[in-house]
Structure formats: structure tokens, C-alpha cells
């Protein structure tokens, strides 16, 4: 199988590491070769962060380049727009509609662009946009946004529900499992 | 069982299985997790040392005693440890000794992008360079064998994309390495000139033997290709990009040992292809060696000296079709990293900015004090440089700078190499003001303990250095502690210490807001009836405070209720959401 590429983008501290861990566990369990590349350190301090997940028969590079992503999973709208050039023609964006102002917007040096979902669609991208923060809060914690997104992403994968559930169990602390199962369901059925 | 492992965790697993007994490191992105992972194994003694020089000397001491030892650091940390490095190359080892060094091409979290391979050549030591987690695991084990066989420390050279990528590893079991008894050997271990001059020939002989080893070791392998029009010499993550782009089209000489290099293997490979290309990030290290052999080679005239590579970059340079995507035709504002909401450094930097101080900075989260809107820091060089440089700056300019210039340095960085600069101020008497930003943790690298926190690498109680007592013992009579959440107190402390006619230390003390034990206050909320849109609260650059529809707004999911913004609001518009009573 040709290598498939998933990019997870967001703002430092939003929980992308858990999302990539979950995907890594899931895809390894399906017998694929998997590589995941993360960002640590300085860039995590509220900066734009990106995690690459690649799987297939044999994966070489740990990173995803322009025009290669089958999926871009985004925790934040501006970040989806920032990384859109990495989407493969015909690729799918799954994004939360949450907006977090970056420092240049906060200081007034720049403006947060409007109507990004419409603009990305007009530019030819397939965009699945949902309010993951509200769904996570509905599940019991704003911190479960990452699992809402994973639930939504599961729509696009031809994988058995049990496989996702097994990975969720393996990667989430037991005391938060029920909350996260709910978050997954809410994302999936949104 | 097959597992996905971070490159750093895989290296740690390899070191563990090889029987490492003593580990001493200083954290630094992207090397930190090697030591954090090792600390999880109870059979291994692990510690955070105050700096990399200490860590390497601890590892050497353990090796001298006959145990397998390890120290890990980032590329710039190796500069700090360079002093013991060049001479441990002469003494050699007793128990095996492995030194991990992690480069940061692209400077994700570093102040430069130096190429550490030069250290292997100049210190005359072997260097192994894995290209994924599986190799990080295997090479870590192999490094101990080489260390003991050739009587020298061995480098395990990582880079960001190997250290911080996960790929598949199949771990095994730990094998305890038998201790080698320590034997007194003054000629080998006491590097006086008379002894060192007799050790130097051993070093050169060893490198010649290692070069022979490199010829036949499976660490260096030729991968056959269909098209001998081009042959590629590569290593590390560059190898992965080449494989991604070319598959098995061109023959590849994949180097797992990048110093010393196998001359015959390279000559034979060059002879088997029409055009020889070296693909390597940063400097022309391999290429320079190939040129020294008199071979025709293409390298840096094609590939950049700067930054990280990727598959598209390698494809473009090799003339292979490049993937293209369609970026959004829209100005996307950048999202640079920023100090977190509730960061204790913010109030102090606001005070320095307000008082128009000249601020010489250091390495840590607080370097973000240089960013807009605070724009407070004017210099950042390396660990500890703030304290030494403020002394030089003040010696150069005298009283005109002494009353408005400060050094800022974090608690961990102060322990690392700020103390010696402070000793210089005390000894050579400049009227300098040093501010220690004590957030009770090593923050930027992801919360490691240090000598001031009172806990060791495993989180157990440990020795705790008293910063106030230390500074007083050095001769500073003006040492005061302020809470950076209290802007008035910060302002008084900064003004009074700058005005004083003797050197002083201000300790700005409050734990990092991200520490698990730190309890947050209820978030603030803007009373829009009181907000007059003066933007006073915007001066501190808090990511939780923004301006929407002509009024200030607090993001309650980010706000930790530190109250610094409220102190800037003359109209009392920033109110706590905590229920009264």
C-alpha cells in the first residue's frame, strides 16, 4: 500500500501529542509500518505546532511535505488555513472551528482572516468543520477536543469501531476513559 | 513485541539493554527524553547534573570505576562539555562510555544550528548516527561494544527528526554488563604533559583501527540501485528523505558511522557510479572528506547549508518530480511561541520594559521576553552569558549603564553557568544587577528538576541549594525576593536595586504556571461597562487577553487568574469570576 499521510495541526498545548499517540497505536495495530514526527520545546509555547503521522507498507521519511497530506486534522481554524498547502489534491481537512488569536492579532499588528472555512472550500479543499470545543465540553472537559477530532476522523477510515476503542483504552488514563469515549462518539456523530 | 518508540526512547532502551549503570545529563531539546526514559529504569542510576561538563565528568568517573556510563546533551551542550571531551579521548575509558549529542537543524528550539560531527573529527572519537528509532536502539548497544573494544567514548549523534520521530522498535532484555575492576594507572589517567604526550600516539593508532573497522562494519552499507548514473552517500534523516524520493533507483552508501570514515568503501562506491552526490544536512562534513580523497563529488553546490531537508527539497535537487499543494490565497498571520497565560516571567518583564532597562538575557522560556509587545530582552547568546556580559557591559560604560542595565537568568540556567559569572561580579566589582527568574523548574525543556528545586530526576526529595544564601556567600549584601505577580513590588525592587551603589541580586520567585501542583485562580472576565478601551491590559502580551469589538476580552479557557492584567487596568474592568463569600 502506498504511504498515507495525516497531519495534525494546532496551537501548542492543545493536545496534539495524545492524538498522534492514539493514531500511532491504532495503525500499528492494523499491521502497518508507522512513523510519527512531533515538535517539542520552544515551538510548543503557544506557537503553531504540527505533528506528522505516516503509515503504509514501508515508510521512509518521518515528515509530510507540501501537497502530500491525505488528511489535515486541525484543532484551530487559522492553523488549518496555514497548512492547507500541505494537502494532497483531493485531500480532506477535518477542523475544529475554534479560533485562537495569535500574538500579532492580539497586539493589533495583524487581523484574523474571516470566513476561512468558505475560503478553503472555494479554493478546492474538502473541509469538514465542527465546533469540537463545544462537543468536548458537552462530553465533560474542554481538554477532550483532541478525542472529538479523532472521533470525527474515524468517519473517513474503513477501520472497525473496536480498533479505535482499543486504542482509546490503551492511550487514555482509565479515570478519563468514559469521558473520552463520549467525546469520541460526539465527534463521530456530529 | 513491536512498539512505536520515539527515537530518544529507543536510544534509551538500547543503552538500558546494554547494561548502562550510571547516567548523568543536562536537559536540552532535542536530547532530553533519552535521560528521562532512562530514569524510569530502577536498575540504572540517573541524574540531572547542573551542566553538561559536570555530566560528562560524572559519566567519565563511572567509566573509570568500571561501569557502563552515559551522558546526553544537545549540540550547544557539547560546547560546554568540550573540555573533558578532548582529553577523555586521550585517557580512554574503563567501562564503556556513550555520549549522545542531538543537533537541531532548523533551530526548532536552539540558538544556533551547529553541526556536531566536527567534534568527532576534532576530538578524534568515533560517531554513530542513526536514521530512525530502530537504529537509535541498535546503535546505542553497538556503541558500548565499540567503546570497550577501542578504549574510547563513542558518540551517538541524534538530530531533531530522529530524536522526536516515532518508528517501530522491537525491544529485548537487559544484559548486565560485568564491572571491570578499576586499576590504578597513572600513565593512562593522569594527563600531565609527560603522560599525555605518550597517550597521543594511542589516539592516532586507535583512529586508524577504527577506520579499518568502518570498512567492514555493517553500520556502513551499500544499498544496490538500478541506475548507476548516480550514487548517493548519505546518513541520518537525509537517508530517509533520499529513500522516500528515490526508493531503490540509485545505489546508496548509507553511513551509520560518520567518523572515522571508510576510505576504501567510499572509493569503491565512487568507482561504481557515474556521478557521486552527498546528501547531508548542515555542513559539508562527509563531502569534505570525499573531496580530500581526490574524488569528484557534488554536495553543497546543490544542497543548502541551512535548515532541515525534506523529501520535496531532496526531490527538487535530484531532479525528481516534486509534490505540490495549493496554499490558501490569504495573509495568514504568524503564530510565534509566546509566554503562557499566567507565566510568572511576564510581570517582571513588564516592569523592566516600563522602566526602559537594558536587559541582557539568557537561555530559557524567558527568552520570549524579547517578543512583542514586551520587547524587553536585547541580548541572548548562550547559557549563563547574561550574568558575565552585564559585568562586561557595565565595565565598558561605567555608571551610565550600571543604573539601568540588568541580567535576567532562570534558576536552572543560573545553576548551569550563571554562578561563575556572578562570582566574577563579586570578585571584580561591577555595580551590576542580576535578576534570577526562579520558576522552580527547568521550564523550556519540559519541566526537569534542578539543584534549586529540592527534587531529583525521579521526583524524590533531594539536596536543595538556597539561592539567597549562595548569593550572600559570594559577597552580595543586597539580595531580595519579589513575587512577579505583584507589579508594584517588582517596580520597587527594580528601581531600588538599580539605584543602589553596590551590586545586587533580585530573585523573582513564583513556580511555573504549568506545574501540576500550582493551583490556579478563577479566570478573570471583562466588565464591559467599565472597560474604556484604553488597551492598558494589552501591554503585557498575555495570550488570554485580546481585543474584540472595541472591548478587552479574556479567554477563560486560557486565563489562570494571575491578576497581572487587572493591575494594569485603572478602571477595575478586569474582575474575577470567583464567587464571592
For residue B380, being part of any structural domain is answered with yes
Provide mean pLDDT across the span B394-405.
Answer: 96
What cell numbers appear for B127 in the block? 560517531
- Chain B residues touching residue A59 (CB < 8 angstroms): 167
Q: Do A134 and A187 meet the contact criterion of CB atoms below 8 Å apart?
A: no
For residue B447, being part of any structural domain is answered with yes
What cell numbers appear for B37 in the block? 526514559
- Chain A residues touching residue B338 (CB < 8 angstroms): 45-47, 103
Q: What pLDDT does B580 receive?
A: 58
- Nearest CA distance, A178 vs chain B (angstrom): 22
Residue where one domain finishes, among candidates B318, B353, B373: B318
What is this structure's pTM?
Answer: 0.97
- Does residue B198 share a domain with residue B266? no
Q: Where are the beta strands (DSSP E) in B144-184?
A: 154-159, 165-169
- Chain A residues touching residue B538 (CB < 8 angstroms): 106-108
Partner residue opposite B108 with nearest CB, options A39, A59, A88: A39
For residue B338, being part of any structural domain is answered with no
Strand order in the sheet with A87-96: A126-130, A87-96, A69-74, A4-11, A48-56, A33-37, B165-169, B3-6
Q: What pLDDT does A44 receive?
A: 63
Bridge partner list, B45: B22
CA-nearest residue to A48 within chain B is B335
Q: How many CA atoms lie within 13 A of B321 on its CB side?
A: 4
Cα(B448)–Cα(B419) distance, integer angstroms: 19
Count: domains in chain A: 1
Question: Which of B333, B346, B541, B544 to mutate against chain A (most A CBs within 10 Å)?
Answer: B333
**CB contact residues (below 8 A), chain B span 214-243, against chain A:** 237, 240-241, 243
Q: Do A103 and B371 touch (CB under 8 A)?
A: yes
Q: Do A35 and B132 touch (CB under 8 A)?
A: yes
State the CATH number of the domain containing residue B534.
3.30.70.20
Question: B289 lies in which domain range?
Answer: 220-318
Count: domains in chain B: 4
pLDDT greater than 90 at residue A1: no
SS (H, E, C) B292-320: HCCCCCECCCCCCCCCCCCHHHHHHHHCC
State the CATH number of the domain containing residue A116.
3.40.920.10
Partner residue opposite A61 with nearest CB, options B240, B543, B555: B240
SS3 at position B384: coil
Residue where one domain finishes, among candidates B483, B509, B535: B509
Question: Which of A106, A109, A116, A141 to mutate against chain B (most B CBs within 10 Å)?
Answer: A106
- Does residue B204 share a domain with residue B96? yes
Q: Do A111 and B329 touch (CB under 8 A)?
A: no
- Does residue B470 share a domain with residue B449? yes
Q: Closest by alpha carbon to B178, among B96, B101, B266?
A: B96
- Nearest CA distance, B341 vs chain A (angstrom): 9
- Does residue B142 share a domain with residue B43? yes
pLDDT greater than 90 at residue B179: no
- Does residue B543 share a domain with residue B436? no
Q: Do B334 and A108 touch (CB under 8 A)?
A: no
CA-nearest residue to A36 within chain B is B166
Q: What pLDDT does B581 receive?
A: 43
Provide mean pLDDT across the span B283-305.
Answer: 98
Q: Closest by alpha carbon to B31, among B70, B63, B69?
A: B70
pLDDT digits (tens, 9 = 90+) for B490-535: 999 999 999 999 999 999 999 999 999 999 999 999 999 999 999 9
- Does residue B251 share a domain with residue B122? no
Q: Do A107 and B541 touch (CB under 8 A)?
A: yes
For residue B295, being part of any structural domain is answered with yes
- Chain B residues touching residue A69 (CB < 8 angstroms): 325
Q: Do B328 and A33 touch (CB under 8 A)?
A: no
SS (H, E, C) B194-224: HHHHHHHHHHHHHHHHHHHHHHHCCCEEEEC
Could you tell me the pLDDT band of residue A42, with boundaries at 50, 70 and 90? low
pLDDT greater than 50 at residue A68: yes
* Angular region, B510: left φ>0, alpha ψ -120 to 50, beta rest: beta
State the CATH number of the domain containing residue B210.
3.40.50.970
- Does residue B144 share a domain with residue B14? yes
- Does residue B124 share a domain with residue B244? no
Question: A125 lies in which domain range?
Answer: 4-189
Q: Do A40 and B365 touch (CB under 8 A)?
A: no
pLDDT digits (tens, 9 = 90+) for B23-69: 999 999 999 999 999 999 999 999 999 999 999 999 999 999 999 99
- Chain B residues touching residue A116 (CB < 8 angstroms): 328, 330
What cell numbers appear for B293 in the block? 580523497
- Nearest CA distance, A95 vs chain B (angstrom): 15
CA-nearest residue to B546 within chain A is A106
pLDDT greater than 90 at residue B333: yes
Kind plus residue range of the DSSP H or E element containing B38: helix B32-38
- Does residue B479 share a domain with residue B423? yes
- Does residue B225 share a domain with residue B212? no
Amino acid at each position: 500500500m502506498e504511504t498515507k499521510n495525516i497531519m495534525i495541526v494546532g496551537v501548542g498545548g492543545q493536545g496534539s501529542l495524545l492524538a498522534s499517540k492514539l493514531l500511532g497505536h491504532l495503525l500499528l495495530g492494523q499491521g502497518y509500518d508507522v512513523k510519527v514526527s512531533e515538535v517539542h520545546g520552544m515551538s510548543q509555547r503557544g506557537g503553531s505546532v504540527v505533528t506528522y503521522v505516516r503509515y503504509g507498507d514501508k515508510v521512509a521519511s518521518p515528515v509530510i511535505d507540501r501537497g502530500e497530506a491525505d488528511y489535515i486534522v486541525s484543532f484551530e481554524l487559522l492553523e488549518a488555513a496555514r497548512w492547507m498547502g500541505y494537502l494532497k489534491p483531493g485531500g480532506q481537512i477535518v477542523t475544529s472551528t475554534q479560533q485562537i488569536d495569535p500574538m500579532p492579532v492580539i497586539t493589533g499588528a495583524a487581523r484574523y482572516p474571516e470566513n476561512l472555512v468558505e475560503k478553503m472550500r472555494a479554493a478546492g479543499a474538502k473541509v469538514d468543520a465542527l465546533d469540537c470545543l463545544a462537543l468536548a465540553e458537552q462530553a465533560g472537559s474542554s481538554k477532550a477536543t483532541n478525542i472529538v477530532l479523532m472521533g470525527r476522523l474515524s468517519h473517513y477510515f474503513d477501520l472497525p469501531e473496536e480498533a479505535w476503542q482499543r486504542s482509546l483504552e490503551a492511550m487514555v488514563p482509565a479515570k478519563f476513559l468514559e469521558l473520552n469515549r463520549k467525546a469520541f462518539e460526539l465527534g463521530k456523530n456530529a | 513485541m513491536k512498539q512505536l518508540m520515539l527515537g530518544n526512547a529507543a536510544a534509551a532502551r538500547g543503552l538500558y539493554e546494554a547494561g548502562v549503570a550510571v547516567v548523568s545529563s543536562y536537559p536540552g531539546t532535542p536530547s532530553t527524553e533519552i535521560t528521562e526514559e532512562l530514569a524510569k529504569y530502577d536498575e540504572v542510576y540517573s541524574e540531572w547534573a547542573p551542566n553538561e561538563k559536570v555530566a560528562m565528568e560524572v559519566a567519565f568517573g563511572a567509566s573509570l570505576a568500571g561501569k557502563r556510563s552515559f551522558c546526553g546533551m544537545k549540540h550547544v551542550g557539547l560546547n560546554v562539555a568540550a573540555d573533558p571531551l578532548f582529553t577523555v579521548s586521550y585517557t580512554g575509558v574503563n567501562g564503556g562510555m556513550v555520549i549522545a549529542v542531538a543537533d537541531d537543524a532548523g533551530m526548532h528550539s536552539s540558538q544556533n544550528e551547529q553541526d556536531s560531527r566536527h567534534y568527532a573529527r576534532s576530538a578524534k572519537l568515533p560517531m554513530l548516527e542513526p536514521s530512525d528509532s530502530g537504529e537509535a536502539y541498535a546503535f546505542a548497544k553497538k556503541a558500548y561494544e565499540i567503546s570497550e573494544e577501542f578504549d574510547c567514548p563513542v558518540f551517538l549523534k541524534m538530530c531533531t527528526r530522529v530524536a522526536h520521530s516515532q518508528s517501530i522498535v522491537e525491544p529485548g532484555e537487559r544484559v548486565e554488563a560485568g564491572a571491570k575492576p578499576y586499576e590504578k594507572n597513572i600513565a593512562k589517567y593522569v594527563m600531565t604533559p609527560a603522560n599525555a604526550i605518550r597517550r597521543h600516539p594511542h589516539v592516532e593508532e586507535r583512529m586508524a583501527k577504527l577506520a579499518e573497522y568502518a570498512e567492514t562494519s555493517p553500520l556502513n552499507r551499500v544499498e544496490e540501485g538500478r541506475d548507476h548514473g548516480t550514487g548517493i552517500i548519505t546518513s541520518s534523516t537525509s537517508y530517509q528523505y533520499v529513500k522516500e524520493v528515490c526508493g531503490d533507483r540509485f545505489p546508496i552508501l548509507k553511513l551509520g558511522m560518520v567518523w572515522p570514515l571508510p576510505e576504501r568503501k567510499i572509493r569503491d562506491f565512487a568507482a561504481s557510479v557515474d556521478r557521486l552526490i552527498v546528501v547531508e544536512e548542515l555542513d559539508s562534513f562527509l563531502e569534505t572528506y570525499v573531496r580530500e580523497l581526490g574524488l569528484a563529488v557534488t554536495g553543497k553546490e546543490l544542497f543548502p547549508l541551512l535548515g532541515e531537508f525534506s523529501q520535496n527539497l531532496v526531490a527538487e535537487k535530484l531532479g525528481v518530480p516534486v509534490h505540490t499543494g495549493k496554499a490558501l490565497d490569504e495573509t495568514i498571520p504568524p503564530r510565534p511561541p509566546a509566554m503562557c497565560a499566567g507565566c510568572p516571567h511576564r510581570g517582571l518583564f513588564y516592569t523592566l520594559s516600563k522602566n526602559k532597562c537594558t536587559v541582557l538575557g539568557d537561555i530559557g522560556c524567558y527568552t520570549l521576553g524579547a517578543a512583542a509587545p514586551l520587547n524587553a530582552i536585547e541580548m541572548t547568546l548562550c547559557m549563563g552569558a547574561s550574568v558575565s556580559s552585564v559585568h562586561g557591559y557595565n565595565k565598558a560604560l561605567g555608571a551610565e549603564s550600571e543604573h539601568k542595565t540588568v541580567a535576567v537568568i532562570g534558576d536552572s540556567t543560573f545553576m548551569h553557568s550563571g554562578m561563575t559569572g556572578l562570582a566574577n561580579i563579586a570578585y571584580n566589582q561591577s555595580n551590576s544587577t542580576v535578576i534570577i527568574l526562579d520558576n522552580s523548574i527547568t521550564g523550556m525543556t519540559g519541566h526537569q528538576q534542578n539543584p534549586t528545586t529540592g527534587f531529583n530526576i525521579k521526583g524524590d526529595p533531594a539536596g536543595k541549594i538556597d539561592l539567597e544564601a549562595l548569593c550572600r556567600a559570594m559577597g552580595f549584601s543586597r539580595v531580595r525576593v519579589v513575587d512577579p505577580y505583584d507589579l508594584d513590588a517588582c517596580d520597587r525592587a527594580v528601581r531600588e536595586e538599580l539605584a543602589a551603589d553596590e551590586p545586587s541580586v533580585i530573585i523573582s520567585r513564583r513556580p511555573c504556571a504549568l506545574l501540576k501542583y500550582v493551583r490556579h485562580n478563577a479566570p478573570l472576565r471583562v466588565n464591559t461597562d467599565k472597560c474604556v478601551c484604553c488597551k492598558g491590559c494589552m501591554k503585557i502580551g498575555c495570550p488570554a487577553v485580546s481585543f474584540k469589538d472595541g472591548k478587552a476580552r479574556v479567554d477563560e479557557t486560557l486565563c489562570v487568574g494571575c491578576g497581572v492584567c487587572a493591575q494594569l487596568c485603572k478602571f477595575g474592568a478586569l474582575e474575577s469570576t470567583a464567587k464571592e463569600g
